[in-house]
Amino acid sequence: MITSLYSLLYSVALAVGMFVSLPYWLFQMVRHGKYRKGLAERLGRVPARLQLTGAHEPVIWVHAVSVGEVLAVAGLAEELRRGSQRRIFVSTTTDTGQELARRRFGEANVFYFPMDFAFAIRPYLRALRPQMVVIAETEFWPNFLRLAHASGTRIAVVNARISDHSWPRYRRFRGWMRKLLANVDMFLAQTAEDAMRLQDIGASPERVRVSGNLKFDIPAPVPPAIVETVRASIAGGGARPVLVCGSTVDGEESLLLKAFENILVQHPRAAMILAPRHPERFPAVVALLEQMSVRYCRRSAWNGESLAGGVFLLDTIGELAALYALADVAFVGGSLVPRGGHNIIEPAQHGVAIVVGNHTENFRDIVSLFQRRDAVRIVGPAELPLVFLDLLANDAERRALGQRAAETMRSQIGATARTAGELQELLARP
């Protein structure tokens, strides 16, 4: 009775919140084209492409919010499918995650995750009849967890983590969280710290295990053609050194461009590859480049012009990870301003010297691991230009820093196999 009351109150609050914020969502749709794609799927319309071949075809539903989660679960999905007749369906929340998932898993196996209303969720549970739902990281949607559990589906949260920001908020509602998390059969945490936090907010200790971070197992991407094209341009035009600044957010580009101006004083033929995190910000970054009178060219309009002494604005999706290989120094964004940081594994795979800001709460364990092994430089805005210049002036230290990053990453591989083993065990339970 109490659980039903909680569910009703939550659903009413969610509906009211969505109604009140409707102008924002409409603005995002009109201005940036966000949330328009897959709207019918989000509202519970199961696309015809998600067809099962038989009434008893075993199904696993994997939910991965965006690009990072899709990459993290790709290897896991292959492990779960290997040697079985299981069908793996993948849902995502973001458009970029959807595009990548369709390329990785095939359009007939990918759809947008439904909104957390019973009318949107039930059609998918009826159509797919999943044996198990696998949720990447920490997506605790109350109605979804309740309805999936009630349908007899096993639920596992993999690569689970509780961020510094989320932990106090969850603890305030520990009584409610305990009831919510009781719907989950298994939590596979990234670290012992995450496991402790899961138990602290209400997860049953016997359901929590540590399996490691799946993102360490993500293979380096096959380089797109642009990588060799840019490499040849850098070599032919003498554009050295190269600074790759990836996943930058509002408030960071101005700091990075000012640092780049300092670099140009000592290295007039230096080049910066600048990759803003969100595509809708590309025009704003172009405006900033023009305002600061920085010479630049957009990747989407580049015809092979020299990159020496200027900025190469990466206004495309899916190429940054491979382009880190061209860096003398890589900066990973979302960290100079309080946005929690982004994943540093991609540059580490290429053995590149990595610099981040001091706001890395969302990746605290990865960054702490690299910091303990002297495999990353953490700086504030004031020190940023000096750290860049110091690394560029010291070839031996820069290369050693990158080598330690690559070695640190390789030492953590194995989470995919451990996670797959735990999930197989969960599926085999009576």
Catalytic positions: 69
CA 132 to chain CA centroid, nearest Å = 23
The residues, ordered by sequence, that sit 6+ positions from 124 with a Cβ below 8 Å of its Cβ are 44, 46, 61, 111, 114
Q: Which of 142, 144, 212, 214 is nearest to 178 (CA)?
A: 142
Q: Which of 382, 389, 381 is nearest to 353 (CA)?
A: 389
In 3-state terms, what secondary structure has residue 331?
A: strand
In which region does residue 129 sit, left (phi positive, over 0), alpha (psi from -120 to 50) or beta (all else)? left
- State the number of CA atoms in the 13 A half-sphere of 178 facing the CB: 9
- Count each helix (H run) and each strand (E run) in the chain, helices first: 19, 14
Instruction: Check: CB of residue 69 under 8 Å from CB of residue 96.
Output: no
Handedness of CA 213, 400, 357, 327 (dihedral sign): negative
Q: Which of 52, 120, 141 is nearest to 88 (CA)?
A: 52
In 3-state terms, what secondary structure has residue 178?
A: helix
Query: What type of residue is 378?
Result: I
- State the number of CA atoms in the 13 A half-sphere of 281 facing the CB: 17
425, two tokens: 């065990």
